């Protein structure tokens, strides 16, 4: 069964504020309108050259994080359901399932042990 999530992150939906895209900063706001983060480049010449596109890409990824976590946890539930009893122990210990569970745990702020 997928872990139950007690949401500790800011309320959803997270969105990029299109009025704040200046090429140097892209802000991400939560469902309450509070800023979650300010995606800004470093201040070196090379950083500023890629600022707009990279900041916006980072902001989109950050804004999608709550949805990605929810989808991942739903996928864990479905995988467990469809790969039920007989083959589940082998599948659960697969490298892919370990990566899926580790990603979910990291997103919830849990410590992840490296089990190779």
State pLDDT tens for residues 25-58: 778 889 999 988 887 766 566 665 566 677 778 8
Residue 1 pLDDT grade (very low, low, confident, very high; cuts 50, 70, 90): very low
Q: Tell me which of 70-74, 84-88, 93-97 is least confident.
A: 84-88
Bigger pLDDT: 109 or 1?
109
State pLDDT tens for residues 52-78: 677 778 888 999 999 999 999 998 888
| 37: β partners | 28
DSSP result, 69-114: HHHHHHHHHHHHHHT-TTTHHHHHTSHHHHHHHHHHHHHTT-----
Domain ranges for the chain: 15-107
Tell me the helix, strand and coil percentages in the chain, rounded to 5: 50, 10, 40
């Amino acid at each position: 069964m997928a872990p139950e999530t007690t949401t500790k992150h800011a309320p959803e939906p997270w969105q990029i504020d299109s009025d704040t895209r200046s090429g140097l900063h892209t802000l991400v706001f939560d469902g309450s309108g509070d800023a979650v983060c300010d995606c800004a480049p470093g201040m070196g010449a090379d950083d500023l050259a890629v600022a707009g596109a990279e900041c916006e890409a980072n902001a989109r990824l950050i804004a999608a994080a709550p949805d990605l976590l929810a989808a991942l946890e739903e996928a864990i539930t479905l995988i467990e359901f469809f790969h039920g009893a007989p083959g589940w122990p082998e599948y659960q210990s697969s490298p892919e399932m370990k990566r899926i569970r580790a990603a979910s745990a990291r997103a919830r702020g849990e410590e992840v042990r490296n089990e190779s």
